[in-house]
Structure 1
Amino acid sequence: MSVEDKLMSMKEAIKKFVNDGDTVYMAGFTHLIPFSAGHEIIRQKKRNLTLCRLTPDIIFDQMIAAGCAKKVVFSWAGNPGVGTLRAFRRAVEKGYPNSIEIEEYTHFSMICRITAGALHIPFIPLKSLRGSDLPKYNPNIKVINCPYTGREICVVPALNPDVSIIHAQRADKNGNVQVWGILGDIKEAAFAAKRVIVSVEEIVDENVIRSDPNRTVIPDFMVDALVEEPWAAHPSYAQGYYDRDNEFYIEWDKISMEPETLQKYLDEWVYGLENRAEYVKKLGVEKIMKLKPKSFYSLPVNYGIYM
């Protein structure tokens, strides 16, 4: 795939690579959550998606409320630091706006699934699920006898999404993607998926990427679509670019309390906007400046070079 074919808008990326009925993995553990992509999926009215991620967060609450999901595969669901995901609960308990299936794991067993997918092995063993109630309620968690010790051990199946969606700090135009701060499940999500959409805060010169190669967690040949999309993770954060908007997470609890107020939010902040640039403009200068972090650089590393 040429550089020209890979670079596109978020609207183009979602239209081209996310289909109704897909299994969609949205990476980012508290950090670099791809909200812009989630909003575009809502805007394009994608349906019957199986949505997967560690800690669904409020992006899944929004997508469920918009009717995008038929199933959620997850580990712990909640509005971090605040409380429950109200739209998620309405869908599970009351079938509103539609009923959804749930498949629950622990954080570790969920990351084991996506790691197995990245390694392209059929399952992965782990000890931590023994003694919990999850194997009783999740038939995908199996108990087998270890071929080496003979002891019982749990295994979980590989997760290979149709598409993984990732946000990162920067990449070059070829799609070599760099991340720092909390890495979470970003690399595994990319290597496990059939198709990969990456948005970044900025596209930088190849020399910038080469100057610090250890930060490159996704190589260019894994990336199908590359989108330059500043503030794509808001209200979560991008280390070094903007902080987490804690005020919004608290506000979301009130917004999502009733379907009517949640729909009003979607109409104003998702359906009513053409793209992320309009979203950032609507956020306003005061909010943007409030979330801008102070500079705090790591010490340089001498890689050396033979001239």
Structure 2
Amino acid sequence: MNAGPRYLEGTTVGSGRDIIGVRRDRIALIIEQGKEVITRAKNQKVLPDTITGATAALLVTIAGYAEPLSEGQWRELAGVVGGIMRDTTYADLARLRTLITQEQFLNVARNQGYSRFIRRLDDGRWVCELTPKWLHVLGGIFWFGSSLMTNFVLVPILAGLAPDSQRAWAAAFAKRYGPIVGPIGGLVILLGIVRGITGGVLGSLGSPYGLTWIAAIVVGVALAGVGGGLIARTVEKLGTASGQLWDESYGRIKTFGRVELALFAVTFTLMITMRFGYFPDGCLLGVGRLPPMALIRALLRRGARDLDLVSAPTGGLAEDLLIAAGAVRSLHTSGVDLAEFGLAPNFGRAVEEGSVRVIDSTCPVLLMALQAGASGVSFTPVPGVFGSDLLRERTDWKVIEDPFGDGAEVVLVPAVAPEYSIVHGLRADDEGNLVTTIEFDDRLLVQASRQVVATTEERSADATRSLAADEQLIPAAYLEAIAVAPGGSRPIGCHGRSRDDAAAIREYLDAARNPGRMRVYLDRLLA
């Protein structure tokens, strides 16, 4: 009795769990047909020179895989093409090729072709972004260093000098200290204000992040007043004072110095508070496929910036919303879309404008990179990449001779191990064990991440006593923190509990297509 085709680990489109497996004798044919479709589309200017893994996989599949799809395979492809694939009567891809309209094909091809990397070095924008940061940090180091040197070295030395030497030294010190430290302090404050405004803090002044930023500015102004004003003027008096007047002035300098150091301590505390919460700006942050929208909104209210996101393996509304708020610097993904609701407008606009760097991959490759991160290794070999434009664009991918095979070449990709990840689960028990769906790869993302924060629909003592066939467990040992957030994925439906809020998603899409309306939407969402 024929047991049916043997399926390989390599997939054409999928979640890394053989969502669409192909028989060995079909692989070469499928790839060849797919390459022909892609070449033809490029020659006709339907596709850009570089296309995403999701687009390439879709075209290869449509071109070469004519067997009917299973329900699981169907759901995976549905997020790429859209609503037409929700009707299971079209499960035969041979028929699907005739049903996809030219307009639908053009939309997929043009709007999912995001893998041309955005290198800001090309147009010099990195200079405009880096210079204020560099000057801000350098000025802060100089300012604080001057305070330490003055209070712990120069002032104690001054007390041990002869009176004439004291006055001469103080006069010389006063001529340089105030004119240098005052402007440096002012420049640091000004750059802090400029960086905050350009980073969008004015849109979230009422958030904890915004309030902390305001407090840091106020303390900075006070610091400039103490250092560049009170201390500088008191040192000037030392240059001419003698006797009791000199002693009084020296005592004031020591008092002002202590106040200055205390204010610096407050400033550093505020800066650390802004920079190092659960998800510090600039961190590599994984986002679960069941979107943790409650956590996303919390991030936006905090004013998160410069996030490097990791999709598992594709992104959706969560990533698009973070991009709209200007919180994203780069994105590891194999595609971003809103399933049958269409493309992700803010993602598309950001890539076209160059404000977000896309680190493009395929679903299987990104998932295998996460598996390498979970395993604690620095790289992993991956199949199914040869013939793709990704090998040219991903300069961090390496091709070597297989040391254990027949000498054929193999592609190595670096591991992906997010510093932090955020996920949403179905339920959790009192020990913090989280139940999630097997439909997505959130458990793998969690295992690859260094710290994980989760939300859950509900908490109960017996939450993990039994699991349904489509559920899996994320042990509490993987989670840094967990919070109960009923409806925490809304407006996206929660697996087995709620459906997508179609009206809310369409409202979002309507706003997302226009930057002005999107700003109004964000203000209302975060109010």
- Structure-2-length-normalised TM-score: 0.45
Please report how far the alpha carbon of residue 159 of structure 1 lies from its aligned counterpart in structure 2 after TM superposition: 0.7
C-alpha spacing 1:144/1:171, structure 2 compared with 1 (3 Å): same
Cross-structure match for 1:145: 401
Q: Does the 8 A contact of 1:176 with 1:216 survive in 2?
A: no
Equivalent AA in structure 2 for residue 258 of structure 1: N
| Structure ranking higher on relative contact order (CA contacts 8 Å, 6+ apart) | 1
SS in 2 for 1:17: coil
Q: Does the 8 A contact of 1:61 with 1:86 survive in 2?
A: yes
Cross-structure match for 1:156: 413
Alignment deviations for residues 142-162 of structure 1 (CA, whole Å, 9 cap, x no partner): 222111121111122111111
Q: Does the 8 A contact of 2:464 with 2:473 survive in 1?
A: no
Instruction: Determine which structure has the larger helix proportion and give its number.
Output: 2
Please report how far the alpha carbon of residue 213 of structure 1 lies from its aligned counterpart in structure 2 after TM superposition: 9.6
Q: Is residue 79 of structure 1 aligned with residue 338 of structure 2?
A: yes
Cross-structure match for 1:47: 305
Distance 1:34 1:68 in 2: 16
Q: Is residue 67 of structure 1 aligned with residue 326 of structure 2?
A: yes
**Superposition pairs for residues 71-110 of structure 1, below 5 Å?**
71-95=330-354, 99-110=355-366
Q: Is residue 19 of structure 1 aligned with residue 280 of structure 2?
A: yes
Q: Report the structure number with the largest CA radius of gyration.
A: 2
Please report how far the alpha carbon of residue 244 of structure 1 lies from its aligned counterpart in structure 2 after TM superposition: 1.9
Alignment deviations for residues 94-129 of structure 1 (CA, whole Å, 9 cap, x no partner): 24xxx2211000111111111111111222212111
Instruction: Determine which structure has the larger strand proportion and give its number.
Output: 1
Cross-structure match for 1:258: 514
- Structure-1-length-normalised TM-score: 0.76
Distance 2:353 2:296 in 1: 23
Distance 2:497 2:326 in 1: 31
Please report how far the alpha carbon of residue 225 of structure 1 lies from its aligned counterpart in structure 2 after TM superposition: 0.6
Q: Percent identical across equivalent pairs? A: 28
Please report how far the alpha carbon of residue 255 of structure 1 lies from its aligned counterpart in structure 2 after TM superposition: 1.4
Alignment deviations for residues 29-61 of structure 1 (CA, whole Å, 9 cap, x no partner): xxx211111111111001111011022212211
SS in 2 for 1:139: coil
Distance 1:133 1:267 in 2: 40
Q: Is residue 223 of structure 1 aligned with residue 484 of structure 2?
A: no
Please report how far the alpha carbon of residue 194 of structure 1 lies from its aligned counterpart in structure 2 after TM superposition: 1.1
**Residue segments in structure 1 that go unaligned for 5+ positions in a row:** 1-10, 273-307
Specify which of 458, 465, 469 is matched with residue 210 of structure 1.
465
SS in 2 for 1:19: coil
Cross-structure match for 1:237: 493
C-alpha spacing 1:252/1:191, structure 2 compared with 1 (3 Å): same
Please report how far the alpha carbon of residue 234 of structure 1 lies from its aligned counterpart in structure 2 after TM superposition: 1.1
Please report how far the alpha carbon of residue 259 of structure 1 lies from its aligned counterpart in structure 2 after TM superposition: 0.6
Q: Does the 8 A contact of 1:33 with 1:237 survive in 2?
A: no
C-alpha spacing 1:245/1:143, structure 2 compared with 1 (3 Å): farther
Structure 1, 120-129 or 68-77: larger mean CA deviation: 120-129
Give the ranges of 4+ consecutive aligned residues of structure 1 lying more than 6 Å apart after TM superposition: none
Distance 1:141 1:39 in 2: 34
Please report how far the alpha carbon of residue 88 of structure 1 lies from its aligned counterpart in structure 2 after TM superposition: 1.7
SS in 1 for 2:310: strand
C-alpha spacing 1:39/1:208, structure 2 compared with 1 (3 Å): closer
Cross-structure match for 2:385: 129
Aligned pair count reads 252
Q: Does the 8 A contact of 1:181 with 1:239 survive in 2?
A: no
Cross-structure match for 1:286: none
C-alpha spacing 1:213/1:93, structure 2 compared with 1 (3 Å): closer
**Residue segments in structure 2 that go unaligned for 5+ positions in a row:** 1-207, 209-273
